Structure 1
Amino acid sequence: MFTRLFAKALSLLGFMIGFTSEVLAQYGAPVYFFTVKGSVKDIECQNPVKNAKVKLVDRNGNTEYDAVTDSLGNFTIFQESEGYYPEYQIRIEDPDGKANGLFKDIEGPLDAKKFRKTWNHNSDTMPGDIYFVKYISGNPCKNEPVVDEPDTAKEPDPEPEVIAQDSAVLPQEEPVVPPSATEEYFTNVNLYPNPNSGRFAIEFTAMNQAATDVYIFSSDGALIYNMSQYAQKGANHFDLEIEGLAPGTYYIQLHCFGNDFTKTFVVQ
């Protein structure tokens, strides 16, 4: 504890008298290491996006960190800072173009407040954000081939054959996806009274009591707001306040452990 306090005091003293980061480093100025985690998903189908290129740019230090999402859409970036309050920019790109479906690149600021407050704590405890991208063409979740089960019946049986034909004569329609367990975790989700003013609330019913994240994304998938609050089992009411909401379409998402619920709303 004494070492950390001494290092912080030395950094502040160096800033006041004009020491550069190189000079401070010679006399023990601390260099902090962080782990920035996140995941990239398709905004339409909520499926993970693999092999997406992620860039984290420290605009104050002109430093860039790169990562690539794995098969589950997750990425991890190890990053360091020399004690100042950096301004971060995150960018997610499609490196292979149309080879695996083409999505629109997104870019925006990264909220560094939660990294600053964890400088003296274990960086692995920082939660990862979810970034949604929108496919321009070749969306993988809409192009999955439909494989018919082989007909092993040897004797004529009219009833099973009619059922098999009904499931195969609808090639122009998208397959019906049954409700997943994540949709059942959050129910009765509503926005009240109206998001136009930027001050509104989200009301919902939760299956269990746990910390719940609220994310708001613009129509192009950029994260513009997030908060975390403890939800009770049953009915909940979270107050939201967002400044400068421009007219357009937005997505609000509830997230708790592996459960997500996304709702679209329009600001006029």
Structure 2
Amino acid sequence: MNGHAIWTMYRHEMARFNRTLGQSLLSPVLSTSLYFVVFGAALGSRIDEVEGVAYGAFIVPGLVMLSVMTQSISNASFGIYFPKFIGTIYEHLSAPVSFLEIVIGYVGAAATKALIVGLIILGTAFFFVDLTILHPAAMLAFLLLTCISFSLLGFIIGLWAQNFEQLQLVPLLIITPLVFLGGSFYSITMLPPIWQTVSLFNPVVYLISGFRWAFFGQSDIAVGWSLAAIALFTMACVSVVAWIFRTGWRLRD
């Protein structure tokens, strides 16, 4: 394992994050604050509690997950697409580093950025609602696993994309709708039975449900299923990345 190469790629990506620190942190915090104002104040005045939890606190895990998933994907996809765009990706491919080391460097940086944003948004939530985290270790574990898995997905999108428009295609048309329909702002038990069944085919439901359990000790899906879902998703992403580097798909075109 070439630790020096990994650290170099990681440091390079984090330096880009530091140069746009204000934009990278201010935008998610402002968006989250608006969600609290709109959903927490407007809807919260009509929905007192959901499953025994104040509505303002109930939506916190969903808001954190929404930001973490989008940040993970956008950071990782742009991080690897830009070297493709300017041609420096060939320096990585010809250097004495394995695909695993490239993935660790880029995905590690993207996951770190998303984790920082997620923790800041979580800290922001304490200014709006009275929040208690029953299982802080499990909360951090779910948060970290989500950052890593969706950074891997973003890495795949960055390798697949052939222009800047395609970088936004999957997050806007697939990920964001799945998050909003994944129980971010409601419990799936509030849905009619048929839609509860349909929701079980949304992988984001398992992530948000497990993350919410870490806060309140209750979830729509058993925690074991949530862990299995995120582990399966991570392994699938790693397999796809390995196949891309082995075949050179979208790398040597």
Please report the TM-score for the alignment, with normalisation by the length of structure 2: 0.29
- The structure with the largest strand share of the pair is 1
Q: Which is greater in Rg?
A: 1
Higher relative contact order (CA 8 A, sep 6+): 2
Please report the TM-score for the alignment, with normalisation by the length of structure 1: 0.28
